[in-house]
């Protein structure tokens, strides 16, 4: 699979990786367990979800792939969220289409920050963006 990075944001949750992973999974209604599976996220639209011990990936539509990765960090767990263009055709149109969605980068960062804050709240620990 060919991937082009569109947006990347990261932050630290001041808790052990295993607890952060569990909180991330528990907050996600699309995650149905371990492994790779397909879910319906809107009527008539499906998304492939891949869950490993250190990552969760979502792929849907003609271009979208989102990856959340977890690694150990001196202050707890580093969480990195990346959004990729994985279009196999009309690949050139994705950046152009995203320009029509003014604020895509900002909205992705805000959504990430909100999710990180929720996880910190669930675990009773501090979080900060890097």
Q: For 54-63, what is each residue's pLDDT tens digit? A: 999 999 877 8
pLDDT digits (tens, 9 = 90+) for 36-53: 998 887 888 889 999 999
Q: 3-class DSSP state for residue 122?
A: helix
The first and second tokens of residue 126, run together, are: 């501090």
The pLDDT of residue 89: 65
For the entire predicted model, the pTM comes to 0.87
**Pairing assessment for the beta strands 4-13 and 127-129 based on DSSP bridges:** antiparallel
Range 4-129 has CATH code 3.30.530: yes
Write the secondary structure of 59-107 as one string of H (helix), E (strand) and C (coil): EECCCEEEEEEEEEECCEEEEEEEEEECCCCCCCHHHHHHHHCCCHHHH
The pLDDT of residue 67: 97
The first and second tokens of residue 55, run together, are: 């990552």
pLDDT digits (tens, 9 = 90+) for 111-130: 999 999 999 999 999 999 99
Mean pLDDT across 92-102: 60
């Amino acid at each position: 699979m060919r991937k082009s990075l569109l947006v990347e944001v990261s932050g630290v949750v001041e808790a052990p990786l295993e607890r952060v992973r569990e909180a991330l999974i528990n907050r996600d209604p699309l995650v149905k367990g371990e492994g790779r599976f397909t879910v319906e996220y809107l009527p008539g639209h499906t998304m492939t979800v891949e869950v490993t011990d250190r990552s969760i990936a979502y792929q849907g539509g003609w271009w979208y792939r989102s990856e959340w990765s977890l690694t150990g960090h001196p202050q707890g767990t580093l969480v990195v969220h990346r959004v990729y263009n994985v279009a196999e055709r009309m690949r050139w149109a994705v950046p152009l289409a995203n320009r029509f969605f003014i604020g895509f980068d900002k909205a992705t960062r805000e959504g990430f920050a909100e999710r990180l804050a929720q996880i910190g709240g669930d675990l009773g620990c501090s979080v900060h963006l890097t």
